[in-house]
Structure 1
Amino acid sequence: MSIAEERIDILFDLAKERTSAGEFDRSREYIRLARRISERNRCGLPREFKRFTCKQCDVALRPGVNARVRLNNGHVVVRCDCGATQRYPYE
């Protein structure tokens, strides 16, 4: 694991903590910084990071705090408070 990947994991953990505390602006900063590190170092983002961050408002998603998670016809539907919706298949 490279230094960039470790840093992205640390920033994602910090973003989740800030979202749970209700500090969405701080969470946004951590997510944006992690994405910039990923782009600069040409390393991909982990699946958990992609699925639990809002692509529209750049905040870490926490079910019950700022996101709704529903199951619908073989898909997991995650809806952020900003209105963005993401769907993922499951079996």
Structure 2
Amino acid sequence: MDNKEIARERIKKLFSEADEVFSKDKKLANRYINLARKIAMKFNLRMPRGYKRKFCKHCYSYLKPGKNLRVRTKGKNVVYYCLECKKFMKFPLSKKGK
């Protein structure tokens, strides 16, 4: 196993840990996300699409719909509104054929 594979596994583990601990301790969940981002940057890895949408691109806090995230559709986009930093992110709405 090379270092990049180990880093990918570690990122996956940190995101699952953040998901588990979010309801008890938001600060710890945010710390896990911060560590996962740093690992990805250190090993020059792309964060998978599913993981990219689980944290705010402005304040880097872990996002959970209904708790600290508002999800809306606007035109051909899905708009994520972070309730921590009051900023939003737009993602294109995927087509069913793809």
Normalised TM-score (structure 2): 0.84
The offset of 1:79, in angstroms, is: 0.6
Closer, same or farther: CA 66–22 of 1 in aligned 2, 3 Å: farther
Q: CA RMSD in A?
A: 1.4
Normalised TM-score (structure 1): 0.89
Are 2:7 and 1:4 equivalent residues in the alignment?
Answer: yes
* Number of equivalent positions: 90
Unpaired stretches in structure 2, ≥5 consecutive residues: none
The offset of 1:22, in angstroms, is: 4.6
Find the counterpart in structure 2 of residue 45 from structure 1: 47
Q: Bigger relative contact order, structure 1 or 2, given CA contacts below 8 A and separation 6+?
A: 1
Q: Which has the larger radius of gyration?
A: 2
Are 2:87 and 1:87 equivalent residues in the alignment?
Answer: no
Unpaired stretches in structure 1, ≥5 consecutive residues: none
More helix by share: 1
Structure-to-structure mapping, 1:1-91, within 5 angstroms: 2-19=5-22, 21-81=23-83, 82-90=85-93, 91=95
- Which runs of 4 or more aligned residues in structure 1 lie more than 4 Å from their structure 2 counterparts after TM superposition? none
